Structure 1
């Protein structure tokens, strides 16, 4: 029998304990900036623009199923729709990280750091918006 490939490796060869580090890949940084800008600017600006109307409509809503309540529900639905770029950006950032792992068998620390930082910032925006929507929906459920 011929030796297997794994048997050809000398077990005494030291395994490097240092992680390869370096700056983030510039092409990756461009993508991360694009996705974060999509969340921070396009999505959050649209959400903030739609928020006063939704708050006003919810505050003026009558009992459930009334015309004013339905109008308030529609305003909250429009508010939810306005935050789509934020949720898409978070999804794109997650996809970017996983595609790096799949393509390269891992992810370099500099790349991981930039993706995680943008994900945290975009998630903070998304969490804040979700909390506002939850508050408005609770007000309508009264």
Structure 2
């Protein structure tokens, strides 16, 4: 369920940003405002592409989860020795895609800050994400 939620969130955010970009294209603006709008469109395009990548990584997580569960039951009956190694390799791929997909969702926050506010807020968001990732990734007894 968590994989499904993490796959839905980036695609919904990306599609809402794409809709906003499409609607902003029809507004009447002067030439100076169009230059600013082009910069915003480039930022939105980067964010949409990044969210699409996060979506694909989370979809692959779900794919490998289903594949591992199916292979546990299928291989355990016919080839139990190879089943352990194969299922372990599929689970390793799944956990790798999950970790990368979650980090992609986490790191979308600085991109949002860049799109909405500017580069200084993006830098502060990156520093904040580095601190948060440090505490998530390190374990203490």
TM band (smaller chain): 0.3 to 0.5
Give the structure-1-normalised TM-score: 0.41
Structure with bigger helix share is 2
Length-normalised TM-score, structure 2: 0.41
Q: Which structure exhibits the higher relative contact order, with contacts defined as CA atoms closer than 8 Å and separated by 6 or more residues?
A: 1
Greater radius of gyration (CA) = 1
